[in-house]
Structure formats: C-alpha cells, structure tokens
Amino acid sequence: MIPVGRRRLSWRMVIWLTAVWVMLWADFTAANILIGLVIGALVTMFLPLPTIDFRGRIHPLPAITLIAQFLFDLVRASFQVALLALNPGREPTGAVIRVHLRNESDLYLTLTSQLTTLIPGSIVIEANRQTGVLYLHVLDVDAVGGIEKVRADTLAQEERVMRALASADELEAAGIFRQGRATQDAPS
C-alpha cells in the first residue's frame, strides 16, 4: 500500500466527485463547491480506487455489435418477463447456474456480469474474481432455452465484451481470435 504522503491526487476524480457533490446538494455556491473539493480530495487520498489493468483499446465495430446485441437481448427478455407476469397460471422454473468465464481480467468479468444482470430475468448473484466464475439466477430457465443455453449466452456476452475492448494477446489467452472461432473449435 502506498503511504498517504506519497499518493498523487487525481484531479479529474476530485473534480468529478465535486460535481457529484454539488449535484446531490443542488446548491451551486462557492462554499458548497469548496466543501466538495475538500471531500473529493480526502476521498481520493484515503479511499483510493484500485487500478484497472487495461491493455486493450475500443474496437468500434465489435463495440457496436456488443451494444446492438445487448439492446436486442434487453427488449426480448423484457417481453419474456412481461409474458410470464401476465400468465399467472404458469409456474416459472428458476435456477442458479454456474458459468466459468475464459478470461482473468476483473474489468471483463465486471462488464460481463453487469451486462448480464441488466437483462431482465437474470441476475448475477455472485462473481468470484479468483476463479472467474459467475453464479446467475435465471427467472425461467425453460423460457430461455435451458441451462446450457444460458451458459452459452453468457460466454457469448463475455466474448462480445472482449472483442470490443481486449488486446490481441488477451483474446488469444482466452481462446478467442479476432476473425474466427474459439480455440476449442479450431483444428490443432
């Protein structure tokens, strides 16, 4: 851990925290801004966020694909949950499903779990960063195609996230290639 006296202040973070402070109080005065700056500086010095190891870059076409597929899944799942709510006689088959992701990055694990949770009818109830395992609760497994379909969809979500953001080395380490299929599908 870096001693407090040696930590560098992230002025961008201090300004961002100050802006949030002012918006939360809805009071745009010099005193409130000054208090926000002091609190922002204290928070960044004594409660620093961990650094994220990001070696990739944003790849525009895969990023557009990620967003488009997410929006499609969002709308489709919303209709499925609405139909389930409107059919009170049907008993949904819920399940908790374990999905082992292919990468070791906290960033991709977090993005994959957040995008998965935002889709109605599923929620990540645990994400184990040491093992790269997500535990998902699915509202109605039968309506989405079964347990293996949920696993495949989650791994496809992870692949879209990585294709949109990961470096070539990170993709290769996860068994994903820029043009083509995963390693297990490729001939040896």
Nearest alpha-carbon partner for 119 in 160, 166, 72: 72
At what angle are helices 11-25 and 30-46 packed, to 10 degrees?
Answer: 130
Segments making up each domain of the chain, as ranges: 6-46, 60-181
Report pLDDT digits (tens) over 40-80: 999 988 888 777 777 788 999 999 999 999 999 999 999 99
- What value does the mean pLDDT take over residues 137-153? 94
When comparing pLDDT for 158 and 1, which is higher?
A: 158
Give the Cα separation of 48 and 45 in Å (integer).
Answer: 6
- What value does the mean pLDDT take over residues 166-182? 78
> 0.85 cut: is pTM over it?
no
Q: What is the pLDDT of residue 146?
A: 93
Band (pLDDT 50/70/90 cuts) for residue 7 is: low
